[in-house]
Chains A and B, each alone.
Chain A
Amino acid sequence: MSDTAGNGAILVVGGGISGITAALEAAEVGNDVFIIEKNPYFGGRVAQLNQYFPKLCPPTCGLEINFKRIKDNRKIRTYSLTTVKSISGGPGNYEVQLETAPRYINSNCTACGDCAQACTDEIDDEFNFGMGKTKAAYLPHEMAFPRRYVLKKEACSAACLDAVKAACKYNAVDLDMQPKTFTLKVSSIIWSTGWNPYDPEKITNLKFNSSSAIITNMMMERLAAPNGPTQGKILRPGDKKEPESFAFVQCAGSRDENHLEHCSYICCMATFKHISYIREQYPEAQVYVFYIDLRTPGKYEHFREKFADDANVTFVKGKVADITAERDGGVTVIAENALTGAKVNQKVDLCVLATGMQPALGEEGKALGVTMDGNGFVVSEPEKGMIAAGCAKSAVDVYTSGQSSTAAALKAIQIGQ
């Protein structure tokens, strides 16, 4: 595998479902591909879901086969914990400076887990959005690829580090590991940097921090996931109550000039999907969905119909604009029902904010020479060898991400030929 100029090699920035798809499509037609990922694991947001559209598969279903394709393909080189520092050159001849953050665990790791057992310090479990703790020496999640532990050195005491190092039978713990910079020469760059859930604390009127009964839709995915903090049981964080009623707050931060101006596309369907999770565990639970418009793109309309007929699911046209924490641990959501013209004060046990997609590539993208639109999405410029894929390009679902990633690969392989 060469990394000399004019070789038609492609750099894929972001190792979620879009980046993986684009990388595989390009590599399987013979191009050299470098795929980098900021996190210590590949799989991105899909890895955090319980089930994903269009067929409501668990993430193992789609990701595992793709990881296997990556492992089997000698044209692809993967770099986790790696970010782009600078870009120079032009289409067909880019020179990219990259930096890999220290993992403190080298490739000797067999993922035996002895280090985690020996580790005495704990950190917030980021994979589960802070719902629970994990050891500072940890495997990001049970199907993590690369299957290698990570050590969060700065969170550990000296004694803890000694214990972790001593516990490893394979000499995999390397506490002196330093950030490593290196240069790649590529013809084009695919930006598949994906999205972050919009920070619910910024929506001040929804008072996210006022009650543990207010969660985000991505937290709901983790609560419902078998490898999540509750082993897949939907329980209220904090007191572990089995909720008898749920409120879904649609457009929490989306379609809003003060937050994200765009429609995040997935949140309505995510809510219907969450109702399906709830119905599996709580057939009698009351569900209230507060919406401006329910947007069910394409064939998903049929999925909506299934829950529209449920007598215990109430749809209220009106955005929730205020939430009050109640003493019993629940919350009251307040909205105006635009169809009746009266205000609704609905008390529920668990309130799910359907927060939207904030493009993950922020201002640093502009500094790297990426063109971005007013909402922070990457504008694809194939003539410049800068191509956007998936949610970096626009707010879409997994299915559409797959399409746009294949399209991005097709554009990328035409550059530098």
Chain B
Amino acid sequence: MSMNVQPDLDFIKAMKEAGGDTLKQCYQCATCSVACPLSTDDNPFPRKQMIMAQWGMREQLSNDASIFLCHQCGDCTEMCPRGARPGDVLGAIRAYAYRSLGWPTALADLCSSAKNLPMLIGIPAIVIFVLWVISGGMHIPSAEHFAEAGYTQFFGHWDFRLLAKNVLFIDIIMLTAAGIAVTSVYKGLSKMWKNMESSLGKNDVAYRPSIPQFIKQFLWPAVVEIMQHTRFKECTVNVDRVKGHKPLLLAFIGLFIVTCYSLFTQDVLGIIWPSMHGPLSMLNPVKWLANVSAIAMIVGVGILWMNRAKMEAEGKAQNTFYDWFLIWMIMGVGVTGFAAELLRLVGIPSLGYVIYYLHLISVAMLFLYMPYTKFAHIVYRTFALAFERFRESSYIKNPLNQ
């Protein structure tokens, strides 16, 4: 049987841009698959993914759960006899996968290169600025008014009690960004799951799990595992990342709860009791959670920042836009959010408003670019971990036939 391999030059170029330029050094000794603490006996990686990438088999790679199961510990890179840096190459493959799964394509392409950074920041900056101008809220409040209302009248105020003016504008910005992201992720996940399932070669599965079954048996255990950082802790070379990733993950959960609470009190309860509008009291336990989460976010991403810089200084990781963009965005959200709160407490409205404007930009970026940047791992890796359980389950493998 002869095999005609058509190398995909665009793919190889994308690999190089995303930090996988060492790819061609690989000579398939398979040391990496044994060095990898996460690779299993039946589905070892990343040796196979390295040769698939060398051959430019991008379709097969995007269908491969292994690329998301990799946590980029760097144990393989450490032991690689050729300096092929499999850890970095798999990171580059993931970057490519997020881009190819992403919708709309133009936005996904925009997020793939540092050259587009002015656009990436510019789009939300201009949109929010224009809305700020249109809203008519664009003037610096008096100190007393600022102390009372904080940033809740950033976009101005009207007396229509069913929907506060500020809430409307915030919702226009953030719900649009989040809506695009959710649609994109939904499309991407459906595509990924379908592809991964078809790669199992089982098209006539007798029983499929219902949605509750799927969540109970596959998704929830995956989420629990993520929370516990079980796989991160398996890494030997780069185990310090847990110290940064764990507080960061908990911070995101904390801030998600705070945001939901805010949304509920401002948009729903605020209709009945207008006094619910305005900043949370410092005595409110939800505010405590918000503050603790904000600090955890800055500390967590700070640890990851330093860890990454150290690894790059030691030559253990490549400097890539893909990795840094997410760190910058999260740091931006954390620092601007926390600074805006401090400025409110000390009562400097002018600077506070400028910082709050930057905070809105960074939050919108985080939402909008989530499906195309490294941030996408929160959904794709979670579902890959669920898929890993699914392919081992009795839906796919009949234990009687084994």
Interface contacts beyond A342-B44, A343-B42: sample of 20 additional A-B pairs, CB < 8 Å, sorted by A: A251-B81, A255-B27, A255-B81, A256-B81, A257-B80, A257-B82, A258-B79, A292-B28, A292-B29, A321-B31, A321-B33, A321-B35, A322-B34, A335-B30, A335-B34, A336-B33, A338-B30, A338-B48, A343-B40, A343-B41
Q: B44–A251 contact, CB under 8 A?
A: no
Write 10 A-B pairs (CB below 8 A) sorted by A numbering.
Answer: A205-B35, A255-B81, A292-B27, A321-B32, A322-B35, A335-B30, A336-B33, A338-B28, A338-B30, A343-B44
B83 at interface, CB cutoff 8 A: yes
Determine the distance from Cα of A412 to Cα of B339 in the docked complex, in whole angstroms.
78
What sequence of 0s and 1s flags, for each residue 299-332 of chain A, a beta carbon within 8 Å of any chain B beta carbon?
0000000000000000001111110000000000
* Contact partner, B34, options A258, A336, A341, Cβ 8 Å: A336
Let me know if A223 is at the binding interface, CB within 8 A.
no
- B34 near A334 with CB under 8 A, answer yes
Shortest B383–chain A CB gap in Å is 23
Bound-state Cα–Cα, A345 to B34, Å: 10
CA–CA, A234 to B5, complex, Å?
47
A112 to chain B, nearest CB (A): 51
Q: Is the CB of A336 within 8 A of B44?
A: yes
Contact of A321 among B30, B42, B83 (CB under 8 A): B30
How long is the Cα–Cα vector from A342 to B47 in the complex, in angstroms? 11
Q: What are the nearest 4 A-B pairs in CB distance?
A: A321-B34, A256-B81, A336-B33, A336-B30
Min CB gap B71→A, angstroms: 18
Separation of A343 and B30 alpha carbons in the complex (Å): 10
**Bound Cα distance A342, B34 (Å):** 11
Across the interface, A341 reaches (CB within 8 A) one of B31, B35, B44, B83, namely: B44
B29–A319 touching, CB < 8 Å: yes
Q: List chain A residues, Cβ under 8 A from B39.
A: 343
Residues of A close to B27: CB separation below 8 A = 255, 292
Write the chain A residue with the least CB distance to B82: A257
Chain B interface bracket (under 10, 10 to 19, 20 to 34, 35 or more): 20 to 34
Report how far A292 CA is from B47 CA in the complex, Å: 12
Q: With A and B bound together, what is the CA distance between A336 and B41 in angstroms? A: 8
Check B30–A345 contact: CB distance below 8 A.
Answer: no
- How far apart are B53's CB and chain A's nearest CB, in angstroms? 15
With beta carbons under 8 angstroms apart, the residue of A205, A251, A337 that contacts B29 is A251
Q: How far is the CA of A255 from the CA of B79 in the complex (A)?
A: 12
Q: Is the CB of B81 within 8 A of A258?
A: yes
Cβ contacts under 8 Å, A259 to chain B: 81
Complex CA–CA separation, A345 to B31 (angstroms): 14
The answer to whether B29 and A343 touch across the interface, beta carbons within 8 angstroms, is no
Which residues of A are found within 8 Å of B79, using beta-carbon distances?
A: 205, 258, 321
A318 x B41 contact (CB < 8 A): no
Cβ–Cβ < 8 Å partners of B48 in chain A: 338, 341
- Verify A257–B83 contact, CB threshold 8 A: yes
Most buried by A among B31, B40, B48: B31
Q: CB within 8 Å of A: which of B49-79? A: 79
The one of B30, B42, B44, B83 that contacts A319, using a Cβ cutoff of 8 Å: B30
Complexed CA–CA distance, A343 and B44 (Å): 7
Interface string of B11-46 (1 = CB under 8 A from A): 000000000000000011111111100011110100
Please report the C-alpha to C-alpha distance between residue A257 and residue B25 in the assembled complex, in whole angstroms: 11
Query: Of all chain A residues, which has the CB nearest B35?
Result: A321
Report the bound CA distance from A161 to B31 in whole Å: 51
Q: Indicate if the CB atoms of B41 and A319 lie closer than 8 Å.
A: no
Q: How far is the CA of A251 from the CA of B28 in the complex (A)?
A: 13
Q: Which residues of A contact B34 (CB under 8 A)?
A: 319-322, 334-336, 343
- Whole-angstrom CA separation of A317 from B44 in the bound complex: 14
Residues of B within 8 A of A321 (CB): 30-35, 79
Of residues 237 to 251 in B, which have CB atoms within 8 Å of A's CB atoms? none
Cα separation A334 to B30 with both chains bound (whole Å): 11
- Cα–Cα distance between A308 and B44 once the two chains are bound (Å): 27
C-alpha gap A338/B82 in the complex (Å): 17
Q: Which residue of A lies closest to B78 (CB)?
A: A258
Q: A319–B30 Cα gap in the complex (Å)?
A: 6
Interface residues of A in 157-175 (CB under 8 A from B): none
Provide the bound-state CA to CA distance between A259 and B80, in Å: 11
B83 touches A336 (CB 8 A): no
B393: min CB distance to chain A, Å: 20
Q: Inside 8 A of B80's CB, which chain A residues have their CB?
A: 257
Q: Could you say which residues of chain B place their CB within 8 Å of the CB of A318?
A: 29-30, 33
Cα–Cα, bound, A257→B79 (Å) = 9
**B82 contacts A319, C-beta separation under 8 Å:** no
Bound complex: CA of A258 vs CA of B80, how far in Å?
Answer: 8
- Bound Cα distance from A288 to B31, whole angstroms: 17
By beta carbon, the residue of chain B nearest A205 is B79
Most-contacted residue by chain B among A321, A322, A334, A345 (CB, 10 A): A321
Q: How far is the CB of B67 from chain A (nearest CB, A)?
A: 15
Contacts of B30 in A (CB 8 A): 317-319, 321, 335-338
Of all chain B residues, which has the CB nearest A258?
B81
In this complex, the member of B39, B41, B80 whose beta carbon has the largest number of chain A beta carbons within 10 angstroms is B41
